[in-house]
């Protein structure tokens, strides 16, 4: 990491060094695969912890790909990595059959749809064993299309499922989705009537034609255009606060292997008030994964740039324990609070109460959904009062956790971004 990185507290220096070393090795392994470097190998010391982190961050398939290409890893690490690689390959082939079944049913019913994440991303890697996934995500227009598609595929529709659940619990957890089982996979059919705090809500409102493709063709994975898929991934990264390295690798793979409209992506991210998150993600990909990835998100620098660049870093990935893929028995309280307020930090707005785009419903989160109609006027009014207070309290909390002031974060962001521009100018000359 550059010297301008915000330094953690002085407590437990040995743990800090181990975290930094593990994070850097984890990212170096992904970078070695992207660069085609088959000579990279993990250090003997700390190999068990590196494997644990690789499993948590979904990069065990990358390790397996390096092993299958002849990389010389320690015996225990090599056997586990190759087993994950083979398992991912079999999983992908099983998913391929299910996806073809869904595509054929959509063509038969005339239902526009697309695949996102999961096998659609795995196919972009060019190697079936690298990208593991747990479910199949399908986008459709509405609940009726979701029900028709599930019935045509022979999937079991959950008893009592309705497009707009009536009970408080189902309104909180199940609105806008139909989840059904298809053999070893869970198929999640998501549609446009999602709650206002859901990331997909804004995408379907503004660019439905980019995500709902007409049925036809022989491609088993009809996916949105590269820039639309990147915007969807950015929303997903914001939802889960970039807490898995594999999602950042996904971003790098799509950016470097596809011709995409970067201007549209920047404008769309700005419209969703996620320009700074786009900048932080692409800066990470450019500096830590592949220099061929361009840095996007042009605009003025704010204190959130320093915050993002501090959290989205190799040590930050290892220290983060607040996401659903963490299995530690006792996650640290600071990480828990950072995860609770992830929605606020994923946006650019500095004055939430005056936002013209009504970000307050998204920030207040799903906990209001059982009280008022999703996206309704009452929710906006409540959010206008609640969100500024929540934002101020959370800003003070995070600055205390990082032991830095907003001014220090601002300086850090400016140093990092200006250093990147200087490097680009030197390389250009």
Q: Report H helices in 240-287.
A: 245-257, 262-271, 275-284
**Which pLDDT tens digits describe the chain residue by residue (429 residues)?**
333 343 443 444 446 677 788 889 999 999 999 998 888 888 877 788 889 889 989 999 999 999 988 888 888 888 999 999 999 999 999 999 999 999 999 999 999 999 988 888 888 898 889 999 888 989 998 888 888 999 899 888 877 665 544 444 444 445 577 888 887 888 888 876 555 555 566 777 788 889 888 887 777 788 999 999 999 999 888 777 777 899 999 999 999 876 889 999 999 988 877 888 899 999 999 999 999 899 998 888 888 888 888 878 888 788 764 444 554 544 455 545 555 555 556 677 654 434 444 555 455 544 444 344 444 445 445 555 665 666 677 777 777 767 777 788 888 888 877 765 555 444 554
- Helix or strand (DSSP H, E) at 200: helix 199-211
- Return d(Cα 341, Cα 334) in angstroms, integer: 11
Q: For residues 23 and 311, what is the distance between their CA atoms, to the nearest angstrom? A: 12
Counting other chains too, the contacts that 95-101 makes at CB distance below 8 Å and 24 or more residues apart are: 95/119, 95/122, 95/133, 95/136, 95/185, 96/220, 98/136, 98/182, 98/183, 98/185, 98/187, 99/136, 99/220, 99/221, 100/220, 101/153, 101/182
Q: Is position 26 within any domain?
A: no
Rounded CA-CA distance 309/330 in Å is 26
3-state secondary structure of 50: helix
- Tell me whether residue 96 is in a domain: no
Q: 57, 312 in Cβ contact below 8 A? A: no
Sign of the torsion formed by the C-alpha atoms of 309, 394, 341 and 198: negative
Within-domain flag for 288? yes
The residue range of the domain holding 340 is 231-324+332-429
* Residue burial 256-280, b: 16+ Cβ < 10 Å; e: rest: eeeebeeebbbebbbebbbbbbbbb
Give the three-state DSSP class for 159: coil
- Count of domains forming the chain: 1
The answer to whether residue 297 is domain-embedded is yes
Q: Report yes or no on 379 lying in a domain.
A: yes
Distances (CA, A) of 201 to 147, 190, 196, 229, 251: 19, 10, 6, 15, 21
Q: What is the DSSP code (8-state) at residue 187?
A: E
Q: Is residue 295 part of a domain?
A: yes
Q: Is 56 a member of any domain?
A: no
How far, in Å, CA of 398 to CA of 139, rounded?
A: 35
Instruction: Flag whether 255 is in a domain.
Output: yes
Alpha helices in 12-59 (DSSP H): 13-35, 47-56
Q: What are phi and psi of 326, to 5 degrees?
A: -85, 135
Contact 149, 113 (CB under 8 A): yes
Go through 237-252 and write b for each residue having 16 or more CB atoms within 10 A of its CB, e for each that does not. Answer: bbbbbbbbbbbbbbbb
Residues 6+ apart with CB under 8 A from 264: 227
DSSP 188: E
């Amino acid at each position: 990491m550059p010297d301008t990185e915000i330094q953690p507290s002085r407590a437990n220096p040995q743990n800090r060094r181990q975290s930094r070393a593990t994070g850097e090795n984890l990212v170096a392994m992904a970078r070695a695969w992207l660069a085609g470097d088959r000579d990279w190998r993990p250090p003997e010391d700390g190999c068990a912890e590196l494997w644990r982190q690789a499993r948590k961050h979904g990069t065990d398939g990358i390790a397996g790909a390096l092993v299958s290409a002849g990389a010389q890893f320690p015996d225990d690490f090599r056997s586990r990595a190759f087993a994950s690689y083979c398992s991912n390959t079999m999983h992908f082939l099983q998913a391929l059959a299910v996806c073809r079944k869904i595509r054929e049913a959509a063509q038969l019913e005339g239902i526009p749809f697309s695949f996102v994440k999961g096998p659609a991303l795995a196919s972009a890697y060019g190697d079936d064993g690298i990208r593991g996934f747990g479910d199949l995500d399908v986008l459709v227009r509405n609940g009726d299309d979701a029900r028709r598609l599930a019935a045509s595929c022979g999937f079991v529709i959950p008893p009592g499922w309705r497009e707009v659940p009536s009970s408080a619990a189902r309104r909180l957890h199940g609105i806008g989705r139909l989840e059904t089982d298809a053999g070893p996979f869970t198929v999640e059919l998501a549609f446009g009537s999602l709650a206002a705090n859901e990331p997909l809500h804004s995408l379907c409102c503004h660019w439905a034609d980019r995500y709902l493709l007409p049925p036809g063709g022989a491609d088993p994975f009809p996916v949105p255009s590269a820039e639309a898929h990147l915007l969807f991934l950015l929303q997903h990264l914001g939802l889960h606060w970039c807490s898995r390295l594999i999602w950042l690798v996904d971003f790098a793979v799509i950016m470097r292997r596809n011709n995409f409209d970067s201007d549209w992506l920047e404008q769309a991210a700005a419209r969703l008030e996620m320009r700074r998150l786009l900048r932080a993600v692409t800066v990470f990909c450019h500096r830590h994964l592949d220099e061929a990835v361009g840095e996007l998100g042009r605009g003025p620098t704010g204190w959130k740039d320093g915050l993002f660049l501090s959290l989205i870093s190799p040590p930050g990935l290892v220290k983060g324990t607040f996401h659903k893929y963490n299995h530690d028995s006792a996650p640290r309280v600071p990480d828990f609070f950072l995860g609770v307020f992830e929605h606020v930090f994923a946006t650019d707005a500095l004055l939430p109460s005056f936002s013209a785009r009504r970000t307050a419903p998204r920030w207040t989160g799903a906990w209001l959904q059982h009280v008022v109609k999703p996206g309704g006027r009452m929710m906006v009014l409540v959010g206008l009062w609640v969100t500024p207070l929540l934002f101020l309290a959370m800003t003070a909390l995070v600055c205390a956790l990082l032991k830095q002031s907003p001014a220090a974060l601002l300086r850090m962001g400016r140093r990092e971004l200006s250093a990147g521009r200087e490097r680009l100018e030197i390389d250009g000359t």
